């Protein structure tokens, strides 16, 4: 509905979706969020109360008329002394703003998605501001702002444009993530303290060390308890995500793009939009994760097909490409049940190692004298899809394209940045470079009807500028990468793309608007992957997280694990194999076939169900699972991350179940070797599977058995009125 003016009854608009409501004060130039949290069932008396909040929220300082809660784009002119929403100027002047409202619109309906659009102007600075606050029917909030230079002459420089969401005083602790290559998304947690907890990403990509999700919650919040407010900055270039607690006692969570000097200079009439800042609220981290998962699954572009079992060649052969060997690998993959074969790095011109070849996207005739067609035909003959690895944004200095077009390399001038993995970054903002990569990739995709592209990005964007002008290019390069993905998908409907970046270095909700899964980490050591997947799942549902069964001894850690632990870990993701099956024994191939069969039986549940993580008190043991949308069945894993101090573990309280149903406990025999056999044998529920009320499983729990370290025990819970397939 169009709202030309605001009366007292209309001064606060309430958006509602799922279990969340957002109350927004629209009386000022920029909207203020007064409430983001539990659902409000609004009545006429509520309207009066909420309107009164706009008058009661005064700041704790001497500035007359200042407000305690900041706008979603905070202004110092309104009394906010924290991080400013807009940081910009005109040749050093008009550095501060005081926007006045020019109208707002509220569209949509509660629980079906609502969008509040507000408009404001700043006559002195010659600026117009548009903000969008959206709340989905699933309760996921997202915000963005657009700033336009409305002056007749003169440029306006934008140094930063960041959105914020206030959180109440109950938000006492902060949880976010750090990490590195092979150890992505490592949690870190501390008290909310006065000042700014700022997480900047200056790598030109999302980064293995990104905040990923920044959550604030009540003291001691866990997976199933405590109020939690969380934000995610959806941008694949430089970015900032922060939590801030100021003098007034107000805490905010915020984020936006981190701009390099001079990246956004608006000529008259030009507009700069921020990335989306996503937010979710719930009781416990699992509720927040469920909101994000449901939102992602509701997208029209979400992969709808059963997620095919992937066989990737990287850790099987590395750069040693040989048609006969790869055909044998594909044949064995098909025998164990693989459905998609992905030829990784090493197929293109001069690519015998990582020193040369990047950018020369032509099949190497020395390795492939007949081209890729024989391998593609063999793979398709085995009944599998065919995928191919590219690193479109990168170039080796030792390549034909770099020698012919050195001006296409991102650099601040003639001096090249430090090399990373022996490579530089190709400047996709140069139209000729963009066109070259697009046409080279498109031709190969068309020629071989390629189903899947593994899109890699293996170095940071250091000193990333246009070599000809010296101007910074991270912002424009990020947009160009998006445009390249968009155009390839437009040209090749049905093409799936995986976001890989030194493993899990480009995992964000903006790149996921154009990709179908992420590679969570180059480390497929099952123990490390338990940790990485546990926390990648705070934002992404399992079907978007690539997870593979590797060799018995992990290539990245030299740690050896049983096939059962490797497969049980990969099961709770988009399942794949990255192992030279030519070296596997007949018994290993037989067991792997059984695990692939189990994944195929359970993948619909894994791709549609609600992820639950147990607040198990002993950190040596983890328990997690997936519960079907109708709560008629579930798949759980009890995982020994370490040895247990106690002689026997406690009980597993299993969340997410229907308390009124009776569930039959079904052991998964493939995982039986994880249990330490006591004098009395395996636990009674394993030998004589009982039927137990959901209420008892949630409130009392199932007695956990002792496991050998670095093992996982799997079991189903099935409504006693159905069989294990949900019928």
- Are 724 and 637 in contact by the 8 Å Cβ rule? The answer is no
Could you tell me where the beta strands, DSSP code E, fall in 451-567? 452-455, 496-499, 517-519, 545-549
Structure tokens belonging to residue 618: 């002993």
> What is the Cα–Cα distance from 138 to 385, expressed in whole angstroms?
34
Number of Cβ within 10 Å of residue 151's Cβ equals 18
The alpha carbon of 590 is separated from its chain's Cα centroid by a whole number of angstroms, namely 34
Complete DSSP assignment for 523-554: ---HHHHHHHHHHHTTTS-GGGEEEEE--SB-
Long-range contacts of 132-136 (CB under 8 A, 24+ apart): 133/15, 133/22, 133/24, 133/31, 133/33, 133/72, 135/15, 135/16, 135/17, 135/20, 135/22, 136/17, 136/18, 136/295, 136/298
Catalytic positions: 456, 522
CA angle 161, 166, 171 (to 5 degrees): 130
Question: Cα Rg for the chain, rounded, in angstroms?
Answer: 27
Main-chain phi, psi angles of 49, to 5 degrees: -65, -45
> What is the Cα–Cα distance from 88 to 97, expressed in whole angstroms?
9
> What is the Cα–Cα distance from 442 to 422, expressed in whole angstroms?
26
- Are 624 and 637 in contact by the 8 Å Cβ rule? The answer is yes
CA distances, 86 to each of 177, 256, 475 (Å): 26, 11, 17
């Amino acid at each position: 509905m169009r709202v030309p003016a605001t009366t007292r009854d209309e001064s606060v608009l309430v958006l509602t979706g799922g279990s969340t409501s957002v109350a927004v004060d629209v009386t000022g130039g920029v909207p203020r969020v007064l409430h983001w949290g539990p659902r409000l069932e609004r009545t006429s008396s509520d309207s009066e109360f909420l309107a009164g909040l706009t008058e009661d929220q005064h700041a704790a300082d001497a500035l007359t008329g200042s407000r305690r809660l900041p706008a979603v784009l905070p202004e110092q002119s309104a009394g906010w002394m924290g991080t400013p929403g807009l940081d910009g100027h005109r040749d050093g002047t008009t550095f501060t703003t005081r926007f006045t409202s020019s109208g707002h619109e509220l569209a949509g309906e509660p629980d079906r998605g609502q969008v509040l659009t507000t408009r404001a102007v700043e006559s002195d600075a010659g600026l117009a501001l548009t903000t969008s606050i959206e709340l989905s029917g699933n309760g996921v909030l997202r915000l963005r702002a657009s700033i336009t230079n409305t002056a007749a002459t003169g440029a306006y420089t934008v140094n930063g444009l960041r959105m914020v969401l206030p959180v109440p005083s109950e938000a006492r602790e902060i949880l976010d993530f750090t990490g590195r290559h092979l150890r992505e998304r490592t949690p870190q947690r501390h008290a909310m303290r006065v000042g700014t907890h700022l997480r900047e990403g200056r790598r030109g990509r999302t980064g293995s060390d990104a905040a990923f999700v920044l959550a604030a919650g009540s003291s001691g919040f866990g997976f199933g308890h405590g109020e939690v407010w969380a934000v995610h900055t959806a941008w694949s270039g430089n970015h900032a995500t922060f939590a801030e607690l100021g003098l007034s006692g107000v805490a905010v969570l915020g984020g936006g793009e981190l701009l390099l000097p001079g990246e956004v200079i608006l000529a008259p009439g030009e507009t700069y939009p921020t990335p989306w800042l996503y937010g979710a609220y719930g009781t416990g981290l699992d509720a927040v994760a469920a909101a994000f998962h449901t939102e992602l699954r509701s997208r029209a572009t979400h992969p709808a097909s059963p997620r095919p079992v992937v066989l990737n060649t990287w850790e099987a052969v590395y750069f040693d490409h040989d048609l006969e060997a790869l055909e044998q690998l594909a044949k064995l993959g098909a025998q164990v049940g693989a459905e998609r074969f992905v030829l990784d790095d090493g197929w293109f011109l001069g690519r015998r190692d990582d020193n040369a070849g990047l950018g020369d996207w032509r099949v190497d005739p020395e390795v492939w004298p007949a081209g890729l067609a024989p391998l593609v035909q063999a793979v398709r003959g085995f009944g599998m899809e065919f995928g191919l690895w590219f690193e479109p944004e990168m170039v080796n200095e030792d390549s034909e394209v770099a020698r012919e077009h050195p001006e296409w390399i991102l650099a601040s001038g003639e001096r090249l940045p430090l090399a990373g993995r022996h490579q530089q970054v190709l400047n996709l903002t140069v139209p000729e470079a963009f066109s070259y990569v697009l046409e080279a990739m498109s031709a190969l995709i068309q020629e071989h009807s390629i189903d899947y592209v593994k899109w890699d990005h293996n170095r940071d964007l250091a000193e990333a500028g246009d070599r000809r002008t010296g101007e910074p290019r991270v912002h424009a390069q990020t947009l160009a990468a998006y445009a390249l993905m968009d155009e390839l998908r437009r040209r090749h409907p049905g093409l799936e793309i995986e976001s890989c970046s030194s493993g899990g270095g480009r995992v964000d909700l903006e790149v996921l608007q154009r990709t179908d899964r992420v590679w969570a980490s180059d480390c497929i050591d099952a123990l490390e992957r338990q940790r990485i997947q546990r926390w990648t799942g705070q934002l992404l549902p399992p079907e978007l997280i690539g997870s593979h069964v590797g060799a018995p001894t992990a290539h990245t850690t030299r740690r050896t694990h049983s096939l059962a632990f490797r497969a049980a870990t990969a099961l709770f993701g988009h399942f794949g194999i990255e192992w030279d099956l030519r070296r596997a024994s007949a018994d290993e191939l037989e067991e792997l076939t059984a695990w692939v069969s189990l994944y195929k039986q359970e993948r619909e549940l894994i791709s549609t169900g609600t992820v639950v993580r147990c607040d198990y008190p002993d950190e040596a043991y983890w328990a997690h699972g997936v519960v079907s949308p109708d709560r008629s069945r579930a798949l759980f894993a009890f995982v020994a991350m370490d040895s247990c101090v106690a002689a026997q573990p406690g009980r597993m309280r299993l969340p997410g179940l229907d308390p009124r149903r009776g569930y039959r406990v079904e052991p998964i025999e493939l995982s039986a070797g994880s249990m330490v056999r006591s004098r009395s044998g395996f636990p009674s529920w394993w030998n004589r599977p009982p039927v137990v009320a959901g209420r008892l499983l949630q409130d009392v729990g199932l007695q956990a058995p002792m496991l050998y370290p670095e093992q996982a025990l799997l079991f189903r819970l099935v409504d006693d009125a159905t069989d294990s397939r949900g019928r």
